[in-house]
Structure 1
Amino acid sequence: MVALDLSSQASVKEAAGQILAAHDRLDLLVNNAGVMAISEARTVDGFEMQLGVNHLGHWTLTAVLMPALLRAHSSRIVTVTSTAHHMSPAIDIDNPHLHGRYKPWRAYGQAKLANFHFGLGLHRELTNAGAHTASLIAHPGLSDTDLQAASVEGSNGGTSQRFLQTMARHTGMPASSGALPQLRAATDPQAKSGEFYGPMFVNNGAPVRKPILRRFGMDRAITKLWEVSERETGQFDLSAAAK
C-alpha cells in the first residue's frame, strides 16, 4: 500500500518513487481513479480538478513508473475511460482547464476523452518504440459505486448527479461486475495492446472487446493531448526508455 493523491503532482512523484524503490519491475498498472461532474475546483498545481485527477495525475504516474514497466517481460497499462468520452470535443490546447467555460459534465467528458486518447496514444508510442509493454483501455459501464455519491457531494447535490446516482442504484451493475472490463483488459491472455473493453450492452453486461469509435481526427487529438500533458506536467516522451 502506497499513499497517493492524484490531485498533487508532488504526491504522484513521491508515490511512484516509493514504488520504484521497492520494485525493479512492474507487470501491471491500472489507471482507474477519478472524480465525476463536480463543481469547479482546482488542484494544488492549478489544474482543473477533473482533468488534473483523471488524466494528468495518471499521466505523471505512468511516466515515472515507465522504466519499471518496460523492464517486465510483457507488462500492461490499462487506462479507464467512460461512455462519457462521447460528450466532449478533443482537448483545447489554449484552454485545457476550461477557464470561463467550465461545466461539470463538460469537464468530465473532456477528462474521460483524455483517458481514451491517452491509452490509444500510449499504444502508438510503445508500438513505435518496439516495447513489449501493452496499453489498453476499458470502461466500467454504469456501475453502482461510491463514484456517484462523491459526485453528488462534490456538486453540492446537483440534480443530474442525483439522477445518475438513482439510476446506478436501481439499474447499474454491482462494483464487482463493473470491474470486469478493466480486469479482462489487464489479465486476459488474448487481449492485445490498443484494444478497448467494456460491457456488452453499452453500460451493462459481460466484458467484451469493443470497437474503437471516434477515429476521425483521432491522431490530431492525441497529438494535442500529448502537447498539453507534457506542457502542464513537465513529463516528456513516455516511451523514451524503450528506444
Structure 2
Amino acid sequence: MKVWRRRDIPDLTGRRAVVTGANSGIGLAVARALAWSGAHVTLACRDAGRGAGAVALITGGGVPAERVSLLPLDLADLSSVRAFSARFADDRLDILVNNAGVLGRPKRQTVDCFETHFGVNHLGHFALTAGLLPSLLAADDPRVVTLTSIFGYFGFLDFDNLDGERFYSRWLAYAQSKLANLLFAWELARRCDRIRSLAAHPGYARTNLFTGGFRRGPGIDARLLGFSGYLLAQSSDMGSLPVLYAATHPDVRSGALIGPALAQWWGFPVEVRPFVRLPDHDPAIGARLWAESERLTGTRFDVTG
C-alpha cells in the first residue's frame, strides 16, 4: 500500500491558512509544510517572541517571507479570540488548523473562568472557529482540522463538572478536552456541509506539549511517561502528517478521523476508526456539547452563512 508523505501535499498556491500554536512542535511542522507548498500561513501564537522565532525558522529555511505572517492569539482569553477573528473579517480562509493546547496543568482557570484544559483546548477553538466562520464560508473548499489525541479514549464529558469544581485530575481534564475536540469536529461536519470538518491526532509523538506536560506532573509515573516520549515516540514531523493529510488530501471526507496507521500510535497517516466508547458516538452528546459551548462562550455559531 502506498504511504502518504509530505511530498504528496498538492500545490496550495493562493490558499490561506491559520495554524494555532504554530511556534513549536506539531503546529510549527504543519505551518512550515503548508507554506512550503505555496499557502499563505498565519501563525496564531500566544507568545510573540516564540512566534517570531518560528517565522524566522520557516523563512530561514527558504520559504518566501510574504507567505508567512504572525498574529497574537491567546485561547485562554475570549477577548483575544474575538480580536484575532476580527482581523480576518474581510479575508477568505481556506484552512483552519485548531492545534494549540495545554496538557498536565494544575487546577487553574482561564481569563473567562473556565477550567484551563477545557477552556483552551476546546472552548477557545470553538469560539475561534465561530469567529472565523464567515471567512471560511467565503472559500471554495474550506477545511477545519481539529487536533484530538488518543488520550481522548480515557475522557468522558461530565456536563455537571466541566469546571472541575466537584473533582479534578489534570490527566482526566486533558482527556475530556481532547474528547470534546473530536466531538466538536464531528458535530461541525454534521451541521455544515459547506465545510470539510475533520479530526486528526499525531499518535505517540515527541512534542513539547506531551513531554513537558508529563515533566510537570506529580510522581515518578508521570516523569517516566515523559521520558518515554524521548525514547519511543515518533518525531513532531511524523506526528504532523495526519494533520497535513486532513488539511490537504483532495479526497478526504468530512467527519473523518486521521491518525497514524500502526495501531494509531506510529506511522504514516490514514483514516482510522474512532477511539471513543460507543455512547460518545451518540449525536445527542455532540449536540449537547455544542449548545453548552455556545452558552459558555457567548458565541452564536451560525453555520448557515
Give the Cα–Cα distance (whole angstroms) in 1 for the partners of residues 227 and 196 of structure 2. 36
2:95 maps to 28
Q: Which one of 118, 122, 127 corresponds to residue 184 of structure 2?
A: 118
CA distance 1:208–1:40, change in 2 (3 Å): same
1:95 maps to 161
Q: Which one of 120, 138, 151 corresponds to residue 53 of structure 1?
A: 120
Q: Which one of 153, 171, 174 corresponds to residue 105 of structure 1?
A: 171
1:199 maps to 260
2:241 maps to 180
When the two chains are superposed, the root-mean-square deviation of aligned CA atoms in Å is: 1.5
- Which blocks of at least 5 consecutive residues in structure 2 are unaligned? 1-69
Q: After TM superposition, give the deviation of residue 148 of structure 1 in Å.
A: 2.6
Q: 2:259 is paired with a residue of what secondary structure?
A: strand
1:165 is the counterpart of 2:226:
yes
1:40 is the counterpart of 2:107:
yes
Q: Which one of 57, 74, 82 corresponds to residue 13 of structure 1?
A: 82
Q: Is the 8 A contact 1:38 1:152 kept in 2?
A: no
CA distance 1:43–1:18, change in 2 (3 Å): same
Which of the pair has more CA radius of gyration?
2
CA distance 1:221–1:27, change in 2 (3 Å): same
Q: 1:173 is paired with a residue of what secondary structure?
A: coil
Give the Cα–Cα distance (whole angstroms) in 1 for the partners of residues 172 and 124 of structure 2. 19
2:212 maps to 150
Give the Cα–Cα distance (whole angstroms) in 2 for the partners of residues 230 and 86 of structure 1. 24
Q: After TM superposition, give the deviation of residue 237 of structure 1 in Å.
A: 2.9
Q: After TM superposition, give the deviation of residue 20 of structure 1 in Å.
A: 2.8
2:291 maps to 227
- Which blocks of at least 5 consecutive residues in structure 1 are unaligned? none
CA distance 1:8–1:123, change in 2 (3 Å): same
Q: Which amino acid aligns with 1:235?
A: T
Higher relative contact order (CA closer than 8 Å, sequence separation 6+): 1
Q: After TM superposition, give the deviation of residue 149 of structure 1 in Å.
A: 3.9
Give the Cα–Cα distance (whole angstroms) in 1 for the partners of residues 302 and 150 of structure 2. 26
Q: What stretches of structure 1 move > 4 A for 4+ residues in a row?
A: none
CA distance 1:125–1:150, change in 2 (3 Å): same
Q: Is the 8 A contact 1:37 1:161 kept in 2?
A: no
Q: Which one of 133, 136, 142 corresponds to residue 69 of structure 1?
A: 136
Give the Cα–Cα distance (whole angstroms) in 2 for the partners of residues 54 and 164 of structure 1. 21
2:272 maps to 210
Q: After TM superposition, give the deviation of residue 95 of structure 1 in Å.
A: 2.2
Q: Which amino acid aligns with 1:230?
A: E
CA distance 1:154–1:167, change in 2 (3 Å): closer
Q: After TM superposition, give the deviation of residue 36 of structure 1 in Å.
A: 1.1
Describe the superposition over 1:140-182 as per-residue Cα deviations: whole angstroms up to 9, x where unpaired.
Answer: 0111111134314654x55443222211110001100000000
Counting aligned pairs with the same residue, the percent is: 39
Describe the superposition over 1:209-241 as per-residue Cα deviations: whole angstroms up to 9, x where unpaired.
Answer: 112353445212102211220110011234132
Give the Cα–Cα distance (whole angstroms) in 1 for the partners of residues 190 and 124 of structure 2. 20
